[in-house]
């Protein structure tokens, strides 16, 4: 709508946004999806490489790895340092180290989540 269509004209611009859900929804665990996006968008202007280098993020991923292995009855193959190395390796192999979350699209995040899950790195 154009604000000149109203008398008196409003002092703000407005828009209508329409959301359409993907049908069928992507085959992802939405708890993990939410966890990944929360990590990436806490500092949306930082590169993913910088976000995933912070100790708090690495500690969270190590804790999630240990919980995942415990729940699945899998022996832990990775040490804390190896989890950190694997995270950085995944980012580099998929060329996400220099990407910023606010410049990525849904397909990029899906690709990243799948790559992490294949390496047994989880976000829930």
Q: How far is CA 41 from the centre of its chain?
A: 7
pLDDT given for residue 104 in this prediction: 93
What are the backbone angles phi and psi of residue 87, rounded to the nearest 5°? -60, -50
Q: Residue 1's pLDDT is what?
A: 57
> According to the model, what pLDDT value does residue 23 have?
78
d(C-alpha 52, C-alpha 39), whole Å: 8
**Predicted model pTM:** 0.76
Measured between alpha carbons, how far is 54 from 17 in angstroms, rounded to an integer? 36
- Neighbouring CB atoms inside 10 A of 53's CB total 16
Predicted pLDDT of residue 57:
92
Give residue 60's pLDDT: 92
Domain boundaries, the chain: 28-118
> Does domain 28-118 match CATH 1.10.8.480?
yes
Query: Which stretches of the chain score pLDDT less than 50?
Result: none
């Amino acid at each position: 709508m154009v604000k000149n269509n109203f008398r008196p004209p409003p002092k703000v611009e407005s828009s209508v946004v329409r959301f359409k859900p993907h049908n069928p929804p992507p085959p992802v665990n939405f708890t993990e999806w939410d966890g990944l996006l929360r990590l990436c968008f806490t500092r949306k202007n930082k590169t993913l490489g910088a976000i995933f280098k912070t100790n708090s993020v690495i500690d969270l991923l190590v804790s999630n790895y240990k919980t995942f292995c415990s729940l699945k009855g899998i022996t832990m193959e990775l040490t804390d340092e190896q989890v950190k190395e694997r995270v950085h390796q995944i980012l580099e192999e998929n060329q996400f180290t220099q990407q910023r979350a606010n410049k990525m699209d849904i397909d990029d995040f899906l690709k990243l989540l799948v790559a992490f899950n294949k390496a047994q790195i989880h976000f829930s």
